[in-house]
Structure 1
Amino acid sequence: MATVALRSPAGKWIMVSTILASAMAFIDATALNVVLPSLQKSLNASGADLFWILNAYLLMLASLILIGGAMGDKLGRKKVFMMGILIFICGSAACGLAGNVLLLVVFRILQGIGGALMIPGSLSLISSSINAKERGKAIGTWSAFTTVVTMGGPILGGALADAGLWRYIFFINVPIGIAALLMLTWKVKEIKDEDNTKGLDFPGAITIALGLALITFGFLRIPTVGLYHIQAYGSLAAGVLFLIVFIIIEIKSNNPMMPLKLFASSTFSGANLLTFFLYAGLGAGMLFLSLNLVQVQGYSQLQSGLTFLPFTVLMITVARYAGSLADKLGPRLFLIGGPAIAGAGLLILSFIKQTNGPSDYWTTFFPGVLVLGLGMSFTVAPLTAAVMGAVSDHFSGTASGINNAMTRISGVFANAIFGALAVLFFSGALQHEIKTISINPKDKQEIIQQASNLGNAKPPTSITGTNKQIIEKAYHTSFIKAYANIMRISAALGFFGALMALIFIRNSTVIKDNKP
C-alpha cells in the first residue's frame, strides 16, 4: 500500500480534511456542555433530559463506531468517511431545527450514526496514508489541532448561547462538513484493503448497542425510581448480559468487529484501559465544571467558555511536541505522567466553593484548569500514537474504532453514572440544608423534587421572601457539594488511568511495531 510524505500536497490535503471532519464531532461535544443552560431554558428540559441529549449521541457513537472502522477497512476508508460526514451534517442541521427535547434526542441519534462512520475514518486515513516514519508526528498534529478546536468549542458555544443563538452550535457543522467533503472528493485518493473479503459483524454491533443502551437507561432511571425498581436493576442486568453475549460473539466470529487478538498487545490493552478511565473522568469533570460556572458561580456562558482558554493554549504549544518526543522516547513516560497530572488538575478544581464570579477566576479555577490542560497536553498525542502504533496497518481502522469507542463508551457511562450520582449527592446535601427551615411538608417535597434539575433548581412559587432566598442558597450550596464529589471521583479516574499505563504500556512494543 503506497504511502505519502506528511509535507507532500497529498499529505497536507489528508491532514486538513481529516482535521476538519473530526473537529465537527469534537467541537459539538464540548460546545454543547456550555450551551446546556440556555438549551435547558429554551426547551424547558429537566436535568434527566439534558443527560439524554448528551447520551443519545454518545450511545450511537459508542455502539456503532467499531463497525464504522471495520466498514472503512473493507469498503474503502474515504468512502465510509465521506458517508459519515454527510449523515453527520444532516443530523446537525436537523438538531438545529428541533423544536422540543424528544426531536432533539432523535436527531442526536442521527448525528451519532454519522459520527460512528466518520470518526474512525480520520485516524485510519492518516495511519494508512502517511509513511511510517512520520506517522507519529502526523497523529500528533491531528491530535493537537482537533483538541485545540475541541477546546475552542466552549468559547464558541458560550458566545452563541449568550446571544441567544445556541442552535448555531449545530448549524456551524454544515459548512465545515461540506468543505471536508469537497477536499476528500477532489484531493484524497481511496484506500482500502483489497484482500479483506470478510463480511461485517452485525450481530456484534446489535448486541453492544443493546447492552450499552440498557445500561445507560438503567443508570438514568435510578434518580427517579430508585435502584431497586425493575426499570433500574432490570435494565442494568440485561445490559450486562448483552455485553457478555457481545464478548462471546467476538470470540467465535470469523470477522469480529473487535478482534480480541489485538488485545494480546499489552500496549494496546493498556492504552485502551487508560483511555476509558481518563476520558470518563475528563468528560464528567468538564460537564459539571461548565454547569457550576454558569448556574452557580454567576459566569455568563461566554465567560464559562473562556475559562478553558489556558487548556487550549497548552494544547497548541505542548501537544505536538509531546507527539514528536513520544516517537523518539516512547510513549510510556508521557502516558503515566500525563493522566496523573490531569487527575491532579481535577482534584484541585474539586476544592472550589462559592466564589465572587469571574473576578475571582485567576485564584480559583485557573490553577486547576492549567494543571488539567498540562496533563492532557502530555497525554493526547502519545496515547493516539501508542494505539495506532501497536497494530499493523491492516487493522488501522479497527484499532482507531476501538480506541474511539472506548472514549465514547466512557462518556456514556460517565454521563449516566455521574448524572445519577450527582442527583443523589445533590438530594442528600439539600435535605441536610433545609431540615431546619420552617416550611410545610408539601413545599419541602417540591423543593426536594427540584434536585433532578441540579444547578437549575428553582424554589416553588408558593415560597417567597426570606425563605425563597434561603432555598436558593441551599440549592447553590448543595450543588457545590455534589460538584466536589463528582470532581474527586473524576480525579481518581485520572489517577487510575496513569496506573494502567504504569502496569501495561511498554515502549519496546510500539517502537518495534512502528518500524517500516
Structure 2
Amino acid sequence: MTGPAGPGGPQELLSWGRPRARWVLAATVLGSALSFLDATVVNIALPSLGADLGAGTAALTWVVNAYALTLAALVLLGGALGDRYGRRRIYLLGVTVFAASSALCGLAPDVTVLVLARAAQGVGGALLTPAGLAILQASFAPADRARAIGAWSGLTGVAAAVGPFVGGWLVQVASWRWVFLINLPLALAVVVISRRCVPESRGPGPGARPDVPGSALLALALGALTYGLTTAAEAGPGAPVPVGLLAGGLLLLAGFLLWERRAPAPVLPPGLLGERLFVVVNLATFLVYAALGALFFALVVTLQVGAGFSPPAAGLALLPVTVLMLLFSSRVGALMRRTGPRVLLTAGPLLAAAGAALLGRLGPGAGYVLDVLVPVTVLGAGLTLLVTPLTATVLAALPEGRAGLASGVNNAVARTGGLLAVAAVPLVGGLEGGGLTDPQRVGEAFAVVGRVCAGLLLAAGLLSALLVRSPGAESGPARGGPAPAQPPGKSGRSGGSGPSY
C-alpha cells in the first residue's frame, strides 16, 4: 500500500509488526519523550541548580519559562514547517537543536547561559513535537494508525511516569547537570534511527509559506507578558516597568490577532474565534493548565525546600497522576459516549480542585502519604475524568479535516496557560528575592498558590457546566462525534503533542 508522496514519489505505508514499523515507533517515542520530560524533570532540579548557580526566584522562574515560552509560541509554526519542508527533516532538526541546547544547559557556567539555552531547547521542542506524531500518521497504513498512536501514547506515558523519579535520583546522586546531559544519548539514538528507518513525508500540495511574522508577534507578546509578571514580583504590580511590559504584551497580542486576519497562511485562522464550542473549551483548557502549571512548579519545590523531602521523593509525588491516566483514560472515553462531555468536563475540574486545595497543607512535618500522595491521587482522578473529554471535545468542535489545527491550537493554549501561571507564582505567593530557597516562605506561598489553583479549576468546571454542549448540537458544519483522545495535542495530525504531566 502506498501513501502520500515523499521526496521521491509515493511512499510504501508501514504495517504493524514489521521491523521498520517498530523502529519508526521507537524514534517517535524517544524524541517525544525528550520534550515531554523536560517540562517536568527540570522542576525537580530547581532547588539544586539554584543553590549551585546562586539563582534567585526570578532567575529560577525563567529557567522554566524560557523553555515554555518558545515552545508555546512556535509549536504551531513547527507543525507548518514539517508539512511544507518534510516532517522527518524538521523532526531531525528539532532533535539536533534540542540536543545541542541540552548540552549547553548541562555545561552552563551561570544562570544567564542556562536560561538562553533553555529558550533554544524550546525551539527544538517546537520543531520535534508536532513532527513526531505527524510522522506516525503519515507512515502507517490507515488500519494500523490508531494502534501505532496508542502504543506511542502508552510508551510516552511510561516515560512520563519513570522520568521524574530518574531525574530526582540523578540530582541526588550526581548533579542537576545530568538532568540535561542525559538527553544527549537519547537524541543520538533518535537521529540514527530516524536517518535509517523513518520515511520522509509532507503535507498535500506545496502549501503557503509558513506564518513566521505571526509566530514572531506571538512570541514577543508572550515574552512581554511573562517578563511583566516576573518583574511585578520584585518591583510591585503597580510599578511602571511591569505595567509597561504587560500593556506592551497586550498590544502585541492584539497586533498578532490583527495580523492573522490578513496573513495568507495564519497559524491561528481568525474564523476559529467564531466557533463557540471551540472557544469555550479552549478557555477551559487555559484555566486548567494555568492551574496545573503553577501547581506542579510549586509542588516539587515545596516538597524539597518547604517539607524537606529528597529529590527522588519529589519526583515520585506526581506518579499517581500518570498511573491513573494510563489505566483509566480509555474507560473515561467510553463513559463520555454515554454521558456526553459536559458532565465530565464539570466533575473533573471540581475533583481536581479538591486535590489542589488538600495539597495546600504541605509544610514542615508533612506526612508523605496523607499530605502528598492522597491529595495528588485526588488531583489525578480529576484530571483523568477531565483530559480525555477535553481533547475529544476540542477535536470534535471543528470539522474532521481541521482536527490537526484544533489539536495544535489547544496544545498552544495549554502551554500558554502554564507559562503565564508559572510567571505569576512569585507574585501571587510573595516569593520575590530568594523566596524559593526559604523554607518558611515557600510553605506559606504554597498554601496561597494551592488555593488560587483550586479556584482556577473551579472556574473551569463552572464554565463547562454553563457553556459546554455536545459538539453535534453546535451550529455550522457537521462534526465527527468525539472519540477517546489523549491529553491536549496527542493527536495523530501535525498539530502537535500536548504537555506532559
Shorter-chain TM-score: which interval? 0.7 to 0.9
Of the structure 1 ranges 483-492 and 240-249, higher mean CA displacement relative to structure 2 is found in 483-492
| Aligned counterpart in structure 2 of residue 454 of structure 1, from 435, 445, 448 | 435
Helix, strand or coil for the counterpart of 2:480?
helix
Q: Deviations over 1:13-64 (max 9, x none)?
A: 5543322212111111211111111011111111111001111111111121
Q: Deviations over 1:54-87 (max 9, x none)?
A: 1111111112112112212222223222221111
Kindly provide the amino acid, as one letter, of the partner of residue 452 in structure 2.
I
* Paired position in structure 2 for 1:76: 86
* Paired position in structure 2 for 1:404: 411
Distance 1:397 1:324, change over 3 A: same
Cα displacement (A) at 1:305: 1.4
For the pair 1:244 / 2:207, whether they are aligned, the reply is no
Distance 1:273 1:190, change over 3 A: farther
* Paired position in structure 2 for 1:504: 468
Distance 1:139 1:210, change over 3 A: same
Larger of the two Rg values belongs to structure: 1
Aligned-partner Cα distance in 1 for 2:147–2:337: 8
CA contact (8 A) 1:342 1:375 kept: yes
Unpaired segments ≥5 residues, structure 1: 427-450, 458-474
* Paired position in structure 2 for 1:260: 270
Helix, strand or coil for the counterpart of 1:364?
helix
* Paired position in structure 1 for 2:495: none
Aligned-partner Cα distance in 1 for 2:410–2:91: 17
CA contact (8 A) 2:354 2:379 kept: yes
Aligned-partner Cα distance in 2 for 1:216–1:83: 27
Aligned-partner Cα distance in 2 for 1:17–1:389: 29
Cα displacement (A) at 1:387: 3.8
* Paired position in structure 2 for 1:28: 38
* Paired position in structure 2 for 1:485: 448
- Correspondence 1:1-12 to 2 at 5 A: 2=3, 7-9=16-18, 12=22
CA contact (8 A) 1:140 1:320 kept: no
Of the structure 1 ranges 126-135 and 99-108, higher mean CA displacement relative to structure 2 is found in 126-135
* Paired position in structure 2 for 1:88: 98
Helix, strand or coil for the counterpart of 1:166?
coil
* Paired position in structure 1 for 2:381: 374
CA contact (8 A) 1:71 1:200 kept: yes
Aligned-partner Cα distance in 1 for 2:15–2:343: 26
Kindly provide the amino acid, as one letter, of the partner of residue 232 in structure 2.
I
Of the structure 1 ranges 376-385 and 362-371, higher mean CA displacement relative to structure 2 is found in 376-385
Kindly provide the amino acid, as one letter, of the partner of residue 468 in structure 2.
F
Kindly provide the amino acid, as one letter, of the partner of residue 251 in structure 2.
L
Kindly provide the amino acid, as one letter, of the partner of residue 422 in structure 1.
G
Cα displacement (A) at 1:157: 1.9
CA contact (8 A) 2:16 2:148 kept: no
Kindly provide the amino acid, as one letter, of the partner of residue 454 in structure 1.
G
Kindly provide the amino acid, as one letter, of the partner of residue 459 in structure 2.
F
Kindly provide the amino acid, as one letter, of the partner of residue 470 in structure 2.
R
Cα displacement (A) at 1:101: 0.3
CA contact (8 A) 1:83 1:114 kept: yes
Q: Deviations over 1:432-451 (max 9, x none)?
A: xxxxxxxxxxxxxxxxxxx5
Aligned-partner Cα distance in 2 for 1:144–1:294: 29
Aligned-partner Cα distance in 2 for 1:314–1:160: 25
Of the structure 1 ranges 6-15 and 292-301, higher mean CA displacement relative to structure 2 is found in 6-15
Distance 1:338 1:485, change over 3 A: same
For the pair 1:150 / 2:150, whether they are aligned, the reply is no
Aligned-partner Cα distance in 1 for 2:246–2:279: 25
* Paired position in structure 2 for 1:430: none
CA contact (8 A) 1:330 1:511 kept: no
Aligned-partner Cα distance in 2 for 1:388–1:489: 29
* Paired position in structure 1 for 2:487: none
CA contact (8 A) 1:339 1:498 kept: yes
Helix, strand or coil for the counterpart of 2:308?
coil
Aligned-partner Cα distance in 1 for 2:454–2:16: 39
Distance 1:200 1:323, change over 3 A: same
| Aligned counterpart in structure 2 of residue 287 of structure 1, from 297, 304, 312 | 297
Aligned-partner Cα distance in 2 for 1:294–1:107: 25
- Correspondence 1:335-346 to 2 at 5 A: 335-346=345-356
- Correspondence 1:183-198 to 2 at 5 A: 183-198=193-208
Aligned-partner Cα distance in 2 for 1:421–1:381: 30
Distance 1:70 1:400, change over 3 A: farther
Cα displacement (A) at 1:331: 5.0
- Once superposed, what is the RMSD of the aligned Cα atoms? 2.9
Aligned-partner Cα distance in 2 for 1:147–1:267: 29
Distance 1:210 1:335, change over 3 A: same
Kindly provide the amino acid, as one letter, of the partner of residue 504 in structure 1.
V
CA contact (8 A) 2:44 2:300 kept: yes
Aligned-partner Cα distance in 1 for 2:139–2:470: 26
Distance 1:182 1:197, change over 3 A: same
* Paired position in structure 2 for 1:445: none
Distance 1:225 1:30, change over 3 A: same
The count of aligned residue pairs is 467
Q: Deviations over 1:362-414 (max 9, x none)?
A: 22212111111222233334444444455567645544432221122112101
Distance 1:122 1:387, change over 3 A: farther
For the pair 1:17 / 2:27, whether they are aligned, the reply is yes
CA contact (8 A) 1:277 1:496 kept: yes
Distance 1:342 1:129, change over 3 A: farther
Distance 1:114 1:455, change over 3 A: closer
Kindly provide the amino acid, as one letter, of the partner of residue 422 in structure 2.
N
Aligned-partner Cα distance in 2 for 1:232–1:348: 32
Cα displacement (A) at 1:132: 6.7
Cα displacement (A) at 1:289: 1.2
CA contact (8 A) 1:128 1:393 kept: no
* Paired position in structure 1 for 2:309: 299
CA contact (8 A) 1:83 1:117 kept: yes
Distance 1:310 1:282, change over 3 A: same
CA contact (8 A) 2:396 2:471 kept: no
Aligned-partner Cα distance in 1 for 2:215–2:336: 34
Kindly provide the amino acid, as one letter, of the partner of residue 401 in structure 1.
G
Kindly provide the amino acid, as one letter, of the partner of residue 345 in structure 1.
G
Aligned-partner Cα distance in 1 for 2:80–2:144: 24
CA contact (8 A) 2:397 2:471 kept: no
CA contact (8 A) 2:28 2:132 kept: yes
Helix, strand or coil for the counterpart of 2:433?
helix
Aligned-partner Cα distance in 1 for 2:83–2:402: 7
TM-score between the two structures when normalised by the length of structure 2? 0.84
Identical residues among aligned pairs (%) = 34
- Of Structure 1 and Structure 2, the greater helix share is in 1
Of the structure 1 ranges 483-492 and 37-46, higher mean CA displacement relative to structure 2 is found in 483-492
Aligned-partner Cα distance in 2 for 1:417–1:101: 20
Cα displacement (A) at 1:324: 6.0
Cα displacement (A) at 1:117: 0.9
Of the structure 1 ranges 223-232 and 331-340, higher mean CA displacement relative to structure 2 is found in 331-340
| Aligned counterpart in structure 2 of residue 49 of structure 1, from 54, 59, 69 | 59
| Aligned counterpart in structure 2 of residue 365 of structure 1, from 362, 372, 388 | 372
